[in-house]
Structure formats: C-alpha cells, structure tokens
C-alpha cells in the first residue's frame, strides 16, 4: 500500500515548506498548519485499524540499493500500527499544546521543522521492514531529538543535555547497526520478516549471540535503560512539548519497539530473556527510587519515565519465555506478559503525556517547577489539578484509571515467574515479583508527590516568579483529551485489547498466532480478591505511610550506592576523550600550511614511490613515441626555463608573466597535440587568470625574499625534486606498460550516440555530463565564495550564549 510509504514522507515534505509558510503568513500561528499533518496521518492510519485487526498486513517495496540488499520496504502490521497511532496521535496533541505553550517570539519555524523531521523519522522506524532503512531513520530520530533538546541553545544545560543524549543514543545505534550487519551475514537478508522466517536455523551460529547483545544495546540506550538512562533527565532541558512527545511517548519507546520487533528472532534465547527482563526490572526499581528524591517536577517525570520503560521492558522479557516454551498451557501465561507490556505502553503514553503537559502548564504559569516552591495551586488551577490527579493516580496504579489495569496485569505476569521451570531460573523467580512490588511502592510515592506537593499544602506566592492562574482553555485541550482517554480506557479496555493489542500480539508471536487466543479479556475485577489486587492494596498502604514519613527517610539518598554517579563517569569519559584527542590533534595539526603539504607529499612519495620501488614496476618503452619537431624542442626548453626562472625572479610581476608564458606555451602544445578545444579554452583562461592575478597584486605587497633558514630550504628542495622524479618515473612507466586497450574508441560513435561531431564536446555535454554539471557547480561555488569573501565583512556580534 503506497500510503504507508507516503505516511513516512509526508512529514519530511511538509518540513520543507514550513519555513516559507512561516514567513509568508506571519499572522497565523504556524502550528495550525503543522497540526494538519499528524491529524491527517492519524485518520489515515485509523481507517486501517479494522483491516489490521482482521489479520491483514500491508507491505510495499521500492528498490533502493538492490545490489546491497537494501529495499525501501514499508510494512504495516499490528505492532507498527500501535506505534504509528501513538506517534501521530500524541503528535497531534503535542502540536496543539505547543501552539499555546511556545510564545510567538520563539523561532517556531525551526521548532516545527525539527518536530516534523522527528515525526517522519519515527514513522520510518516503525514502518520499515529493511534493517538498513530502519537504522537510517533510527539515527534520524536521535538527530532530531538532539536538535529539539538544544532548541534553547543559548542555555548551557540545553547544549549539554543535547550532546549527552546524542552521544549515548548514537553509540547505541552504531552497536545496533553492527548487530544488523551480523544478522545480514547470517541470513543474507536485511528484511526483518525474512529474518524472522529463518529463525530456527540461526540459533547455532557463532554470530547469533553477539548480534543479539548488540541489538539490545541499541534498544537499551534509546529506551533509557540502566545504565544508559542518564541521558533522559538531562534531555528534560527541551521545551515541555518535546519532553512529552519524544522523551516520554514516542522516541524512548523506539527501543521497546525494537525489542518487541526482534522478539520472534531472538526471543527463544535464555540470554535474551535474562537480559531484557533483568535490565527492565532493575531499571524499574532504580528509576522509581531516584524519582522520589527529585525536586524538579520534570526531572521527577524523567525518572518516572525511565522506571515505566523498565516495567514495559521487563514484561517483554518475560513474554519472550513463551517462544521458548512453544505451544503449551504455560506459554499462554507468558504471552500475557507481552500483552500487559503492550497495554501498559499505550497507557503510559496517555497518562505520562498528560502529566508532562500539566507540568508544562504549571511551569509556564508560575515560573518554576520546583516542588519545594510549589503548593496550594488546587484552588487557583482546578482544571490542571484534575489532570494531575488523573495522570498521577493512573501512574500509581489506582482505579478507575487505565494504569490500574496494566499494573494488575504486570503483577500477575511477575507472579507467573514462580512457575517458570526452564532457563534454570530457580529462586530468582521469586525475586522478580518482590522487586516489582517495591518499585511500585516508590512509584506510588512519587505519584503522590506530583499531586500533593504541587497542588495541596501551603500556597507560597512570594516564592513564585508569577502569580498563579488557570491556563488558557486552548492549552488545556490536549491534556484533557489524554486524561479523558485514561478514564475511558479503564472502562472500555477491551476495545483497545481487541483492535490494537491482539494484532500486535500476532506480530510478536507469529508462530503461536494461529494456535491460541493471544488477547485475553481485560477485567478490572476478577471476581475475587486475588494476589495482584492484594499487592496493589499493599502498595497503597505502604505508599501512604512512606509518603507521610518522607522527610524522615529522605536521608538514605545520601548513603552508599546513591552516591555512585554514572553522570560523573560519563563526564569523566567525555573530558578524557576531549583532552586526549585535542592533544593528538595539536601534535600534528600545527596550523602551518607547509607542514600539511609536507605530510601530503611525504605520503605520496612513500606510498607511490615506495610501491613502485618494491614492485619494480619500472619499464620504459620509448619505441612508440611520436617524432619531435624542432619547434617543439624550443617550446619545451622555453617552458622549462620559464618555470625554473620563476623560482629566482625578484619581482612578482615577472613571476606572473612567466606563469603566463607557461600557460600560453601549453595552449600551443594543445594545438600541436590536436586539441583545438583545449587550446582555445587555455588561451582565454590564461588571459583571465593573469588579469585576475594582476588585479589582486594591485592590493598585495611586493613579495619579499624567502626568509626560511637554509636547512628548511634544502628540505623543501629535496621533497620537490623527489616529487618531480616520482611523477616522471610513474608517467614513463605507465607509457611503457599498456595493460589494456583505451576505452576512447567508444566515444568515436559520438555522432550516432549523441548527435554531435565534436567528440570532446559530446563527452562533456552528453557522455559524462555529470562531471560537467558538478564542475559548473564547483565554479559557481567558487564565484559565490569570492563574492562573499569580498563583500561580507565579519561583524562582531553580541553573544547571548552561555559558555
């Protein structure tokens, strides 16, 4: 279906036109035009929901680099549908929100261009079937994320955060690329579907495990899993709509997407199961623990996002056990974990999006997001408060919000681990639910912090930058829609379950899809008080106690492991890399042209002269030489004399004239050598060049004698002479060995092939027109360069950038 390919490119195409619309129609906020795109795409995708739910998939292939196995293949199935809807749906809401969030003074054109770039790249990630194409889009999301985090680039923290996120995610991306290449080496295909199809043959291969680990590194860095999570809190320097969109709803879920997408390939491996679920559960725990200590609301949300991503990740890890178990009663249990993961993925996007937007509103209205300065905003901002309550309670796992449903399913999935008999899991199986439960208690605590420390308690107007008031209605639309979804999903979860999650389950478990029902009915009340419900109850009780006593136990963050700082490690590595590379660079990049040219010529002499010497390629054959006329002897002598004289003349004018002599002599040679076009061109160019030299000399000083020391001169002379000798020897050897026939006979068909009788001209204009085109471009660039060099004088600008 062409439209899926179109869906990827529409945002890119739109991004091209945004700047001109922005300039052309200054009265209307550009955001309204941008908003059209995700809304259209969302509707386009949504129209296919029922077809996808019926089990259809759409695929379309455009050959890109067929010789390398790279096809631009887009693939729409249940899994990519969920992500596609999230990207366009949350995208629409975020753009709507940003119209009110960003002031018109900001460079909105940049902002929306970056945002559209991101949207297109992200759609590319989830719709691509070819791993190379996926990788390209994957890196493009990192780049657009970098640009968006650094949107307020005059702030030092923004630049730091942008760089950090780029370094970490791109490093992971490269690891993933290596993993993809290994998969290609094993299966000979870049297509994910074909890799899935050949999964059984892979497991024994030596490269299988490295490929698995490398792909996981890519996924973990992008999804901010421990220990790569450190970039996400710093990424919060981005404008809040960006944080809501990229760093909670979509981009950070790209890693999860990769894990889900590659589960059919790698899922049967114990290593995959352990790596994904253990890293996930630890990230869940670590993220929630650290979220509690944050005082900045956005940092708190960042850690909470890390933690929730860990939750989803661990569920996918558990779910992969089903592939190992094959078709059995138990595997149904494990597929439930994956189902819960997908469900929580959707839920997280709704409630976390709403929470981010809520924090943005608070930040914008009162000028701070520090919970220590906030308080008592409930009566001043009732709508915002409502959104905060819905979002936070859903995150904490309370009814009647969708987070409750997925949290219950999460507990249940963790409890099934106790029954896991394979992978020699042993007592570890019991640890998983315990860690999950502890992490949930902290999740509950920080959810309460968001609501109660911001909106209840004592209002401190004197500590706020601005007087608090309710946000404008337009700003509340987007978070309200999300909050509404949070509640709606709680009451009608099975609509999502049947139409979105079931087809996605089929793409994650292609081998099990036909054999059993993968999508259970989601129920809020299971008819009895079961263990998950008791666990939730325990979370609430202990959570309330801990929240009440927060001030007494906060000090634990001062001890032990909390002081180990991954950020310091990152900073240390970064500054080490900077220092050592600048040392290395300064060692040979002296800033002296002479040195650089010496490197180049020395390398030339060693590489070319050396290989000539070792291969013994000298063979001179002068028998084919053309006869020499007297006038040619004279001309050669004139040229040699002119160029040697050039070294000794006192005046630069003489030197230029000697250069002219060289040029015109060459033109004469061109005449002798039957090249009329060249002769003509050379004469005109030489004239113009000499004119140019003279025009510039009008301003330049007379040249002085070289002041270099004698050894330097000798060294230069040595290099010069050897370069001349090597060139001569090579040229003579080439003439001595005709290893293959000239291809020029082909061009003698010029009249039939290109309709011209001047062979040189047809080569330029037809056979090798690409060369000519680029040459014209080079000439043009040189012209523009000259123009700007002369006309544009550098102005001392005022710097508004923090160092």
Partner 1 sequence: MKINDVILQTVTKLVVFIILTFGVELFFSGHNDPGGGFIGGLVLSSALVLLFLVHDIETVEKGIPVDFKKVAAVGVLFVVGTGVGAVLFGASFLSQAFGHFELPVFGSTELATVVLFEAGVAMAVVGTVVTIMLSISEDV
Partner 2 sequence: METLITILIGVLVTVAVYLLLSRSLIRVILGSAVLSHAVHLLLMVMGGLKKGSVPLLGEQAEAYTDALPQALILTAIVISFAVSAFLLVLAYRTYKETGLDDLHELRGFTDE
Q: Does 655 bind partner 2 (CB under 8 A)?
A: yes
Contacts of the segment 781-788: beta carbons below 8 A, 24+ positions apart: none
The residues in 475-504 that bind partner 1, with binding defined as CB under 8 A, are none
160 three-class SS:
helix
Nearest distance from residue 610's CB to partner 2, in Å?
18
Nearest distance from residue 758's CB to partner 1, in Å?
6
Q: What is the size of the binding site for partner 2 (CB under 8 A)?
A: 98
Residues 6+ apart with CB under 8 A from 94: 115, 241, 244, 245, 249, 353, 478
| CA 154 vs CA 151, 235, 502, 563, 802: distances in Å | 8, 15, 47, 30, 6
The residues in 742-771 that bind partner 1, with binding defined as CB under 8 A, are 754-758, 761-762, 764-766, 769-770
| CA 204 vs CA 185, 191, 593: distances in Å | 14, 20, 56
Q: How far apart are CA 364 and CA 342, in angstroms?
A: 33
User: Which residue from 68, 731, 753, 801 is in contact with partner 2, where contact means CB under 8 A?
Assistant: 731
Place of tokens 């680029």: 774
Place of tokens 């220092």: 579
Q: Does 643 bind partner 2 (CB under 8 A)?
A: yes
User: Which residue from 677, 706, 748, 802 is in contact with partner 1, where contact means CB under 8 A?
Assistant: 677
Task: Label residues 259-294 b or e (16+ Cβ within 10 Å = b).
Answer: bbbbbbbbbbbeebbebbbbbbbbbbbbbbbbbbbb
CB 24 within 8 A of CB 41: no
- Residue 524 interacts, among partner 2, partner 1, none and using kind-specific CB cut-offs from 5 to 8 Å, with none
- Residue 27 interacts, among partner 1, partner 2, none and using kind-specific CB cut-offs from 5 to 8 Å, with none
Cα three-residue angle 313-316-321, rounded to 5 degrees: 140
CB 255 within 8 A of CB 305: no
User: Which residue from 584, 731, 784, 801 is in contact with partner 1, where contact means CB under 8 A?
Assistant: 784
The residues in 12-71 that bind partner 2, with binding defined as CB under 8 A, are none
State which residue, 571 or 735, has the beta carbon closest to partner 2.
735
CB 673 within 8 A of CB 629: no
Residues 6+ apart with CB under 8 A from 469: 365, 380, 381
Q: Does 618 bind partner 2 (CB under 8 A)?
A: no
Q: Does 662 bind partner 2 (CB under 8 A)?
A: yes
Strand partners, 191: 130
Q: How far apart are CA 416 and CA 558, in angstroms?
A: 36
Q: How far apart are CA 462 and CA 373, in angstroms?
A: 9
Q: Does 794 bind partner 1 (CB under 8 A)?
A: no
- Residue 39 interacts, among partner 2, partner 1, none and using kind-specific CB cut-offs from 5 to 8 Å, with none
Place of tokens 């590194």: 217
Q: What is the DSSP letter of 705?
A: P
- Residue 592 interacts, among partner 1, partner 2, none and using kind-specific CB cut-offs from 5 to 8 Å, with partner 2
- Residue 727 interacts, among partner 2, partner 1, none and using kind-specific CB cut-offs from 5 to 8 Å, with partner 2
Residues 6+ apart with CB under 8 A from 136: 124
Q: Does 785 bind partner 2 (CB under 8 A)?
A: yes
Q: How far apart are CA 28 and CA 26, in angstroms?
A: 6
Q: Does 691 bind partner 2 (CB under 8 A)?
A: no
- Residue 627 interacts, among partner 2, partner 1, none and using kind-specific CB cut-offs from 5 to 8 Å, with partner 2
One symbol per residue from 469 to 508: x for binding partner 2 (CB under 8 A), - otherwise; what is it?
A: ----------------------------------------
Choose one: 159-167, 374-382, 451-459, 673-681; the region binding partner 1 (CB under 8 A). 673-681
Distance of CA 140 to the CA centre of its chain: 4
Per-position DSSP letters for 492-524, written without gaps between them: SHHHHIIIIIHHHHHHH-TTTTTTS---PPP-S
One symbol per residue from 628 to 667: x for binding partner 1 (CB under 8 A), - otherwise; what is it?
A: ----------------------------------------
Choose one: 2-10, 188-196, 463-471, 786-794; the region binding partner 2 (CB under 8 A). 786-794
State which residue, 610 or 783, has the beta carbon closest to partner 1.
783
Q: Provide the sign of the torsion angle of the four alpha carbons 652, 658, 660, 662, taken in this order.
A: negative
User: Which residue from 206, 329, 709, 739 is in contact with partner 2, where contact means CB under 8 A?
Assistant: 709
State which residue, 62 or 640, has the beta carbon closest to partner 1.
62
130 three-class SS:
strand
Nearest distance from residue 784's CB to partner 1, in Å?
7
The overall longest dimension of the chain from CA atoms, in Å, is: 113
75 three-class SS:
strand
User: Which residue from 790, 795, 798, 800 is in contact with partner 1, where contact means CB under 8 A?
Assistant: 790
- Residue 329 interacts, among partner 1, partner 2, none and using kind-specific CB cut-offs from 5 to 8 Å, with none
- Residue 382 interacts, among partner 1, partner 2, none and using kind-specific CB cut-offs from 5 to 8 Å, with none
- Residue 596 interacts, among partner 2, partner 1, none and using kind-specific CB cut-offs from 5 to 8 Å, with none
Nearest distance from residue 113's CB to partner 1, in Å?
24
Structure tokens at 467: 């007087």
Choose one: 69-77, 104-112, 530-538, 584-592; the region binding partner 2 (CB under 8 A). 584-592
One symbol per residue from 687 to 726: x for binding partner 1 (CB under 8 A), - otherwise; what is it?
A: xx--xx--xx------------------------------
- Residue 323 interacts, among partner 1, partner 2, none and using kind-specific CB cut-offs from 5 to 8 Å, with none
722: left (phi over 0), alpha (psi -120 to 50) or beta: alpha
Nearest distance from residue 782's CB to partner 1, in Å?
7
CB 290 within 8 A of CB 305: no
Residues in contact with partner 1 by CB under 8 A are: 676-677, 680-681, 684-685, 687-688, 691-692, 695-696, 754-758, 761-762, 764-766, 769-770, 772-773, 776-777, 779-780, 782-784, 786-787, 789-791
């Amino acid at each position: 279906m062409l439209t899926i390919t179109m869906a990827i490119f529409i945002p890119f195409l739109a991004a091209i036109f945004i700047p001109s619309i922005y300039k052309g129609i200054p009265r209307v906020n550009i955001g309204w035009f941008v908003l059209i795109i995700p809304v259209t795409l969302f509707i386009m995708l949504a129209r296919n929901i029922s077809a996808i739910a019926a089990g259809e998939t759409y695929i379309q292939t455009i050959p890109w680099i067929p010789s390398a196995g790279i096809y631009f293949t887009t693939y729409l199935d249940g899994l990519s549908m969920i992500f596609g809807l999230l990207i366009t749906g949350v995208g629409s809401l975020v753009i709507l929100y940003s119209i009110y969030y960003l002031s018109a003074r900001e460079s909105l054109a940049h902002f929306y261009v970056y945002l559209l770039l991101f949207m297109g790249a992200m759609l590319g990630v989830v719709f691509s079937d070819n791993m190379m194409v996926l990788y390209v889009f994957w890196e493009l999301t990192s780049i657009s994320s970098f640009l968006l985090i650094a949107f307020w680039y005059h702030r030092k923290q923004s630049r730091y955060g942008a760089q950090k996120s780029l370094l970490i995610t791109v490093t992971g991306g490269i690891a993933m690329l290596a993993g993809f290449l290994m998969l290609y080496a094993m299966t000979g295909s870049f297509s994910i579907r074909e890799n899935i199809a050949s999964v059984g043959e892979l497991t024994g291969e030596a490269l299988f495990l490295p490929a698995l680990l490398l792909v996981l590194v890519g996924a973990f860095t992008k999804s901010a899993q421990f220990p790569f999570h450190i970039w996400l809190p710093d990424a919060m320097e981005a404008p809040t709509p960006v944080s809501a969109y990229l760093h909670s709803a979509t981009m950070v879920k790209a890693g999860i997407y990769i894990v889900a997408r590659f589960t059919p390939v790698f899922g049967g491996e114990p290593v995959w199961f352990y790596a994904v679920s253990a890293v996930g559960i630890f990230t869940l725990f670590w993220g929630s623990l650290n979220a509690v200590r944050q005082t900045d609301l956005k940092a708190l949300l960042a850690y909470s996002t890390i933690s929730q991503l860990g939750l989803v990740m661990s569920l996918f890890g558990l779910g992969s056990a089903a592939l190992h178990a094959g078709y059995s009663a138990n595997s149904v249990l494990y597929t439930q974990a994956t189902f819960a993961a997908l469900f929580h993925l959707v839920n997280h996007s709704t409630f976390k999006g709403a929470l981010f937007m809520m924090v943005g509103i608070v930040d914008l209205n009162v000028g701070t997001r520090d919970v220590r300065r906030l308080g008592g905003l409930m009566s001043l901002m009732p709508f915002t408060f409502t959104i905060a309550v819905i979002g936070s309670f859903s995150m904490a796992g309370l009814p009647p919000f969708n987070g409750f449903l997925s949290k219950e399913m999460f507990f249940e999935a963790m409890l099934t681990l106790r029954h896991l008999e394979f992978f020699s899991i042993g007592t570890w199986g019991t640890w998983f639910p315990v860690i999950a439960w502890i992490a949930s208690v902290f999740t509950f605590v920080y959810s309460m912090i968001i609501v109660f420390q911001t909106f209840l308690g004592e209002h401190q107007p004197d500590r706020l930058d601005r007087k608090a008031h309710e946000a404008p209605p337009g700003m509340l639309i987007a978070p309200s829609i999300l909050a509404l979804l949070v509640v709606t999903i709680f009451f009608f979860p099975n609509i999502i379950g049947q139409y979105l999650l079931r087809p996605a389950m089929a793409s994650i478990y292609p081998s099990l899809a036909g054999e059993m029902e993968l999508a259970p009915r989601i129920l809020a009340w299971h008819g009895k008080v079961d263990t998950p419900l008791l666990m939730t109850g325990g979370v609430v009780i202990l959570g309330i106690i801990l929240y009440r006593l927060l001030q007494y136990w906060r000090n634990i963050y001062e001890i032990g492991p909390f002081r180990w700082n991954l950020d310091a490690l990152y900073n240390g590595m970064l500054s080490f890399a900077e220092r050592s590379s600048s040392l290395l660079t300064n060692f040979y990049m002296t800033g002296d042209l002479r040195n650089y040219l010496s490197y180049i010529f020395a390398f030339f002499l060693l590489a070319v002269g050396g290989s000539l010497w070792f291969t013994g390629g000298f063979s001179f054959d002068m028998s084919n030489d053309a006869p020499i006329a007297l006038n040619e002897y004279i001309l050669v002598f004139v040229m040699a004399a002119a160029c040697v004289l050039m070294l000794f003349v006192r005046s630069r004018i003489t030197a230029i004239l000697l250069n002219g002599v060289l040029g015109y002599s060459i033109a004469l040679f061109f005449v002798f050598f039957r090249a009329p076009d060249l002769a003509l061109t050379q004469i005109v160019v030489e004239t113009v060049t000499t004119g140019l030299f003279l025009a510039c000399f009008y301003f330049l000083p007379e040249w002085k004698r070289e002041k270099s020391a004698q050894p330097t001169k000798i060294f230069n002379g040595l290099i010069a002479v050897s370069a001349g000798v090597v060139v001569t020897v090579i040229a003579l050897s080439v003439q001595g060995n005709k290893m293959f026939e000239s291809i020029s006979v082909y061009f003698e068909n010029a009249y039939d092939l290109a309709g011209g009788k001047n062979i040189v001209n047809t080569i330029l204009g037809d056979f090798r027109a690409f060369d000519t085109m680029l040459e014209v471009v080079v000439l043009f660039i040189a012209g523009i360069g000259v123009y700007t060099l002369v006309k544009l004088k550098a102005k001392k600008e005022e710097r508004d950038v923090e160092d």
